[in-house]
Amino acid sequence: MNLAIFDQEIEGFQSNVFTGTGFVLANAGKQSTEGVEVDVNWAPTDGLRFGFAATWLDPLYDEFQGALGIDGPEDFSGRTPSGIPEFSANTNVTYNFMAGNTMGYVRLENVYESEVQVVDNIPSSIASRRINMVNASAGLTFANGIQLNLWGRNLTGDEYLLSAFPSVAQAGSISGYPSQPRTYGLTLKYNFE
């Protein structure tokens, strides 16, 4: 188990926000973050391993006058920066096994982030996100060097915005980049030795 407790301050924190026609780079006077990180790994048997990692953050713009907000320049002093979830976690379980000369594994993972405004210049009612995604994979490694991996990402079909911004040269419109949809795959590898 690892535990970290921290309190950091960044003088002259730089914010880079897309306006639809260009980027606005602004310096915050000071941005601070208090937080706790924990990372736990537990292996109750030779082949079974549980993992849990979590971060609690309390970020704050201590001083940020002239920040690009929803209606133009604003004073963000005392506000929470966008894009930084208060709580995020990764929970996973992996089982490794042998079947004759073949090594195998099965893995299940949950990725979680609490709700957060995506960017400062788009209202949270339009562009906020909460992530609760499940991933899974299984694989076999044969003695002859062949590896097969079956994997699935975002099995729950969780939909959220990675980013959002005013649309290019279309006043009043908003564009964004959505999360990757449910994705499956099979990977085949051969190890030449």
State residue 133's pLDDT score. 96
Identify the domain containing residue 160 by its residue range.
2-190
Tokens in use for 90?
């990764």
Give the residue carrying structure tokens 């990180």.
37
CA 81, CA 129: separation in Å to the nearest integer?
14
pLDDT at 91: 98
Q: What percent of the chain is modeled with pLDDT above 70?
A: 99
Q: What is the domain count for the chain? A: 1
CA 126 – CA 164 distance, rounded (Å): 9
Choice between 76 and 69, residue whose per-residue pLDDT is larger: 76
Kindly report the pTM of this predicted structure.
0.86
HSE at residue 69, side-chain half, CA atoms within 13 A, is 12
